[in-house]
Structure 1
Amino acid sequence: MKKHLVWILLIGSINLTHAQMKFVKGQERSMQQILAEAKAKKQIIFVDVFTTWCGPCKWMDEHTFADARVSEKFNKQFINFKVDGDTSEGQVVRSLYKVGAYPTYLFIAPEGKVLHRIEGVMPPQVFMDEADFAVKRAKEN
C-alpha cells in the first residue's frame, strides 16, 4: 500500500512540474540580459512585475500561471521574466517601463519596445487572449 501511495505522489508531482511556467527570475538575470537574449533569439519577452505582498499576484501564480494551457503556450512562445518590483532589478524594470501597479504584465519586443501592457487578475483564457494580441501586434510592426 505504501509503495502505491509513493508512486501516486511521484506521478502527481511530475504532472504539477510539467504544468509550471518557466520563469527567469530577476535575481538570476537582469532585464538587459533578457533583452539581449530576446534579440538573439528574435523572441518576445513576457515580464511579470509582482511583489511578495500582492494578493492578486499570488492569485495569478496559483491559478492562471499554474494552468497547463497557459504554461504550455508561454513556455513555447515567450521568454518569461518574473521580477519583484521591490528589488533593485525590479526598480530598474519599474523605472524603464513606468510600472505603477501590481501585478503588471509586459509583452516586450526583442528591441525593447512594449507591445502590450496589462494589469490585474484574469482567468487563463483571457490571459492567453491577451498574449495572442501581443503576438499579433509584434507581427504588425
Structure 2
Amino acid sequence: MKTILFMGLLALVVFGIYSFKNPKVDFKEDSIGGIQFFNGTIQEALEKAKKENKPIFLDIYATWCGPCKMLKKNTFSDKEVGDYYNTNFINIAIDSETKEGRELVDKYRIEGYPTLLILDKNGKQIAKQLGFVEPHILVNFGKRIVP
C-alpha cells in the first residue's frame, strides 16, 4: 500500500515539475501529423458528427494542468494517434475554464483534468479516460468504440 501511495505522490511531483518547467503549450494549435481538433463549439461538433456519422472525441483540459500539457505535446502529436482519431472521430478540445467548458464539466461530471470522453453523435457519453495516457493507450481507448 505504501508503494502505491509513494508512486502516486512521485507521479504528481513529476507532473508538477513538468508543468512549471514547460509552461508554454498552445492548446489551440494542432501539431502536424497529430490529432486535428475541430475549431468550433461542442454543438457545432455534434452537428458535424451527425452529418459524418462519427462519434466525438472530446478532450476537456485546463491550461494550468501539467498532465494536460504532456498529453497535448506527447500524445496528441503522435502520428499513429492522429491517423486513427482523424479518420474515426470528430475531435474537439474544450478549455474547462470557459463558459462552454464549465457547462460540459457539469454535464459530464468531470472530476479532474485532462478528461477524455467519447460521445455518440447525439452527445451521450460512451467512454471516459482520466489523466495522461501514452499514445498506444489512447489508440486502444478509441478502438474500444471504433475497432
Fold-level match, TM-score > 0.5? yes
Match of 1:22 among 28, 36, 57: 36
Please show how residues 69-84 of structure 1 align to structure 2 within 5 Å: 69-84=80-95
Please show how residues 115-134 of structure 1 align to structure 2 within 5 Å: 115-134=126-145
Match of 1:32 among 23, 43, 46: 43
Q: In 2, distance between residues paired with 1:134 and 1:87?
A: 28
Alpha-carbon offset, residue 113 of structure 1: 1.2
Residue number in structure 1 paired with 2:18? none
Alpha-carbon offset, residue 17 of structure 1: 5.0
Alpha-carbon offset, residue 89 of structure 1: 1.2
Alpha-carbon offset, residue 18 of structure 1: 3.4
Question: For 2:129, what is the secondary structure of its paired residue?
Answer: strand
Alpha-carbon offset, residue 135 of structure 1: 2.2
Q: What is the TM-score normalised by the length of structure 2?
A: 0.75
Task: Name segments (4+ residues, structure 1) moved above 2 Å.
Answer: none
Please show how residues 1-141 of structure 1 align to structure 2 within 5 Å: 17-25=31-39, 29-135=40-146
Structure 1: runs of 5 or more not aligned: 1-15, 137-141
Q: In 2, distance between residues paired with 1:127 and 1:17?
A: 16
Alpha-carbon offset, residue 41 of structure 1: 1.4
RMSD in angstroms over aligned alpha carbons? 1.6
Kindly provide the amino acid, as one letter, of the partner of residue 144 in structure 2: F
Q: What is the TM-score normalised by the length of structure 1?
A: 0.78
Residues 10-50 of structure 1 deviation map (CA, whole Å, 9 limit, x = unaligned) = xxxxxx9531311124xxx2212211211121111000000
Q: Identity percentage over the alignment?
A: 31
